[in-house]
Structure 1
């Protein structure tokens, strides 16, 4: 069962006790039918700390069944928020790939709904909610780190995405999943449930970063940036050995096809520069800012390395990667995007 931890902040001058509750969907959507197959339990403010644990000076989720390995503290939230803005710039100002505007276009008597999986700080949901004020947004995550005072068309909930969603079949117009592959062990098993809650013709959008560096000119990264490659090789092996997390970013289009539930599958990769080496001024600034996010990522990933057979070399691996992102021109991160329609 999902847990609602958001509360509406009273509007100045209004009677807060008469404000509709954020999960009274029937009233807010102007419809008598609900998109929920079951209710949600509200989490009080004093209960929120129970969902975290401290290890090695960093804060992590305390949900034992979820394999997600990264911290969820202020430093990691800074990285998530910064990366969100940089990715939007990389995508040409868009918040997601695909025919989003078409799918969310208003129709008389219809309430459009969007579900964001692994919402994290909620940055994507909040920006989308501003662009589509008449659309209802749901952001779910294993920990309550998004704002507890979202706009009226947003509801943040705690939910483990490997479990069944509370939404009725065909209730959702768009499902968005970004950077969720470290939160689940079997991505393919997630797709039937996504398909279930999507209406026919609804949109699924995925965005995942590859777990291997590359060179913009296609040259051998092992020769140009061996310490960066060693860092990611250690990360991939540790995630698989200790948590059962596979590298699937480039295989999601095939998984969608194999599920038999999606059509019009369109995949595209984007290259994010790491550092200020590009000639193009806009990309140079993007790469400079992204490098700061990469360094935060490397330091967060130290916790992953300490959990496996690379523990004795964790600091050297992290520092080696950081040294090369500051000294090797041409390094890029590959962002794998794909969108598909519910068949």
Structure 2
């Protein structure tokens, strides 16, 4: 079931299942890309989608392996001083990644989404999270319709944008299940940071291929879950506590959630699927801290280090669920200490885009 965060305010006493949504007006045709199975989540249903552990809020959806909290520290904004609100991790990462790559997405996006008279371009964002990517893209491409889906609740789609732009629709959907879109209905599918929300990435690709038109674009963007140094030197020697932290994370995610570390393997999975062509992969190195010689990259690194610290503190809840539980605090603190003291640390962002055959 897809749950829609509608543009239209419900009329008191109305049946939400029969509500008319402005974005769906052109979907009553025989070749509609959408289904009727959209309902609006009522306020009294919200608590059923959460569970609290260790003072943090988590998804309660039993089939979703996503391990990180979905509370304000992860999803929304945090107050860094009485007068300053800073973006929490997911929104902050969105902004920093855009600065690092110089665009909202890699690949020939403008070519694929070029507006043609009589044709409606459509884009699906998987694991939309706070919806930042969708909202920014919708401003850049006002003639394109955007769908953002996530397993979560109003905390994991932009609650501050409950009534988003007319060319945007947010829905709840488990991406392991079949999408509600017709075959060949979409021009682009975007998937960023979803590898902790799905156990078998390769099994997702045929469904992505199904909903893409021939020549449609698939874009993936994933952070590597391992430490690295910009100069390629041995990270285990210079940052052993970072190595220990990520090894514990890797072990726990695999043993407790069945989540594998596959960011660098996605291009090969696309090739193996047989559904995609023109596969182009690229990595970006995000500095952690202000060690970079370039002034702009120094600022980027300082901001990103704050995001990394938030990530480490959120990951503590994951470590408490596995065999590293007794060492969770020391592992987290050790990694945080090194991102502030070891110069040259980077996070690797793996991107790939491909065309549907």
Q: Which bracket does the TM-score occupy, shorter chain normalised?
A: over 0.9
Contact 1:26 / 1:33 at 8 angstroms: preserved in 2?
Answer: no
Contact 2:68 / 2:318 at 8 angstroms: preserved in 1?
Answer: yes
Q: 1:9 to 1:3 in 2, by over 3 A?
A: closer
Residue 272 of structure 1 corresponds to 286
Q: Which runs of 5+ in 1 are unaligned?
A: 11-18
The correspondence of residues 172-183 of structure 1 with structure 2, limited to 5 A, is 172-183=186-197
Q: 1:6 & 1:52 partners in 2: Cα distance?
A: 21
Residue 14 of structure 1 corresponds to none
- Equivalent residue in structure 1 for 2:104, among 67, 82, 95: 95
The correspondence of residues 223-302 of structure 1 with structure 2, limited to 5 A, is 223-302=237-316
Residue 37 of structure 2 corresponds to 39
Q: 1:98 to 1:42 in 2, by over 3 A?
A: same
Q: Give me the CA root mean square deviation.
A: 1.6
Is 1:306 aligned to 2:320, yes or no? yes
Q: 1:265 & 1:131 partners in 2: Cα distance?
A: 25
- Cα distance, 1:64 vs structure 2: 0.5
Q: 2:134 & 2:47 partners in 1: Cα distance?
A: 23
Contact 1:25 / 1:34 at 8 angstroms: preserved in 2?
Answer: no
Task: Count residues in correspondence.
Answer: 332
Is 1:192 aligned to 2:206, yes or no? yes
Classify the secondary structure of the residue corresponding to 1:68: coil
- Cα distance, 1:25 vs structure 2: 4.3
Q: 1:221 & 1:269 partners in 2: Cα distance?
A: 18
Classify the secondary structure of the residue corresponding to 1:195: helix
Contact 1:202 / 1:341 at 8 angstroms: preserved in 2?
Answer: yes
Classify the secondary structure of the residue corresponding to 1:24: helix
Q: 1:152 & 1:55 partners in 2: Cα distance?
A: 37
Q: 1:181 & 1:146 partners in 2: Cα distance?
A: 18
- Equivalent residue in structure 2 for 1:56, among 51, 54, 57: 54
- Cα distance, 1:102 vs structure 2: 0.3
Q: 2:128 & 2:46 partners in 1: Cα distance?
A: 17
- Cα distance, 1:24 vs structure 2: 1.8
Is 1:80 aligned to 2:78, yes or no? no
Residue 2 of structure 1 corresponds to 2
Contact 1:207 / 1:336 at 8 angstroms: preserved in 2?
Answer: yes
Question: Could you report, residue by residue, the CA deviation over 1:228-272 in whole angstroms, capped at 9, with x for unpaired residues?
Answer: 010000000100001000010000000000000000000000000
- Cα distance, 1:293 vs structure 2: 0.2
- Equivalent residue in structure 1 for 2:122, among 113, 128, 153: 113
Residue 138 of structure 2 corresponds to 129
Contact 2:220 / 2:353 at 8 angstroms: preserved in 1?
Answer: yes
- Cα distance, 1:116 vs structure 2: 0.2
Contact 2:276 / 2:355 at 8 angstroms: preserved in 1?
Answer: yes
Classify the secondary structure of the residue corresponding to 2:222: strand
TM-score computed with the length of structure 1 as normaliser: 0.94
Q: Which runs of 5+ in 2 are unaligned?
A: 11-18, 76-87
TM-score computed with the length of structure 2 as normaliser: 0.90
Which structure 1 residue ranges, 4+ long, deviate > 6 Å from structure 2? none
